[in-house]
Amino acid sequence: KMAESDLIVKTFVLRRVFPVCAVLIVLYIFKKNSKRINGVVSAYILNRAVPSLNNATKSQKQKLFSELGDQQRTLGRDLKILEIGAGSGANFEFYPPNSTVTCLDPNQYFQGYLEENSEKHGLNVNFLKGYAEKMDAVENDTFDAVTCTLVLCSVRDVKKSLDEVRRVLKPVF
């Protein structure tokens, strides 16, 4: 009788209690780390989507970024570019080689992908965690160009973002 009741309890615990506890532990871990998990997953998915996104928009982006090469030739030096919402570096293939690109993005988990993708395109990359509306870590009159694609639709304040862009761009003489 004792062995039979032990088996019933053991079976109940393994089939009912253990799975519920396991689910509760997983939910607790997700809740505690939801921002991190969301950031890691978002960065991974967007990095995987970059090649097909660029294939779909290649001619538009080539046109859009063609003036950067002209600007580099006119200045006679490598460009300093700030890319807002750089993600994993979808625009890197369109920048002039040897440019220094500062990537501003709220998702710090893009940094590894940015470094990996910058090597493919001969760029020097720095990463800044931040938002377009508040670029406190960026000094005035620092960049030759500021770029952002598929970003302004998701910023909290477009006017503040554009004011920050004006502040960090070098004056044109």
- Tell me if 110 sits within 8 A of 88, measured CB to CB: yes
Question: Which tens digits make up the pLDDT trace of 40-53?
Answer: 877 788 778 777 77
Note the pTM of the prediction, 2 decimals. 0.76
Strand ordering across the sheet containing 80-84: 124-129, 100-105, 80-84, 145-147
Question: Which tens digits make up the pLDDT trace of 91-138?
Answer: 999 999 999 999 999 999 899 999 988 988 989 999 999 999 999 999
Question: CA 160 → CA 140, 143, 155, 167, distances in Å?
Answer: 15, 18, 9, 10
* pLDDT score at 11: 76
